[in-house]
């Protein structure tokens, strides 16, 4: 049975993880996208969504049973204890999906794209961890543009995340993304080659 190399990809929102992920996927790596997995486990009627609604209020569910993400975010990110409560509910479901994907695909290299890699304890499964960082002003601008939110909403998201020093301390490699996309792609490609070839 071949060995799967697990590479954790993490960092703050707006830093450029998606660009790095695309670069590495184009080089042949398989991808575990935790954001997509969370969307899946938040589907109407799912066990995860039922548990989250029990914790944060049934009114986070719309009339059609789908999640009101804005209302959940407002409640879950209002203080660290509430954020932790959400994490403790959701992360076991994410880990279960990761293990299912590994078993089904048995890829040679799997990138675990997880903004909350450490909070979910997925870091313990990784062979190598890479964090993508960028200056706060740049990240705020990118989040507002990408997600159509205002600066106050963007800052709320950032306040629920670790600071750059945390990622620098806990990652094996750090990709700084304070320049343009082409510069990031060159650095990301070189790092992938170093880690995987």
Q: pLDDT tens digits, residue range 7-37? A: 999 998 889 999 999 999 999 999 999 989 9
Share of the chain above pLDDT 90, in %: 72
Per-residue pLDDT at 83 exceeds 50: yes
Q: How confident is the model at residue 1 (pLDDT cuts 50, 70, 90)?
A: very low
* pLDDT confidence of residue 171: 97
Instruction: Compute the mean pLDDT over every residue in the chain, rounded to the nearest whole number.
Output: 91
Q: Check whether 94 has a pLDDT greater than 50.
A: yes
Q: Is the pLDDT of residue 193 over 70?
A: yes
Confidence (pLDDT) at 136:
87
pLDDT at residue number 51: 96
**Domain of 119, in residue numbers:** 5-196
130: left (phi over 0), alpha (psi -120 to 50) or beta: beta
Q: Place 175 in a pLDDT band, splitting at 50, 70 and 90.
A: very high
Any idea what the CATH number is for the domain that residue 88 is in? 3.40.50.300
Neighbours of 118 (CB within 10 A): 19
Nearest-angstrom CA–CA distance, 122 and 94: 9
- Structurally, the chain folds into a number of domains equal to 1
In the chain, count of helices (H) and strands (E)?
9, 5
Count of other CB atoms within 10 angstroms of residue 18: 15
Q: With 90 as the cut, is the pLDDT of residue 98 above it?
A: yes
Cβ burial, residue 55 (10 Å; 0-12/13-18/19+): middle
3-state secondary structure of 66: coil
């Amino acid at each position: 049975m071949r060995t799967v190399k697990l590479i954790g990809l993490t960092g703050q929102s707006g830093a450029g993880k998606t660009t790095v992920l695309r670069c590495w996927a184009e080089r042949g790596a398989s991808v575990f996208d935790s954001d997509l997995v969370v969307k899946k486990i938040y589907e109407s009627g799912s066990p995860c969504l039922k548990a989250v609604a029990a914790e944060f209020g049934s009114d986070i569910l719309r009339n059609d049973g789908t999640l009101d993400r804005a209302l959940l975010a407002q409640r879950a990110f209002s203080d660290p204890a509430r954020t932790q409560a959400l994490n403790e509910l959701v992360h076991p479901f994410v880990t279960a999906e990761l293990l299912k994907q590994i078993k089904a695909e048995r890829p040679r290299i799997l990138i675990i794209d997880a903004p909350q890699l450490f909070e979910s304890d997925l870091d313990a499964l990784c062979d190598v961890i890479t964090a993508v960082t960028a200056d706060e002003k740049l990240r705020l601008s990118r989040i507002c543009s990408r997600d159509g939110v205002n600066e106050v909403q963007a800052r709320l998201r950032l306040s629920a995340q670790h600071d750059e020093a945390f990622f620098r301390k806990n990652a094996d490699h750090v990709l700084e993304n304070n320049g343009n996309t082409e510069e990031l792609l060159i650095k990301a490609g070189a790092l992938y080659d170093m880690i995987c070839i």
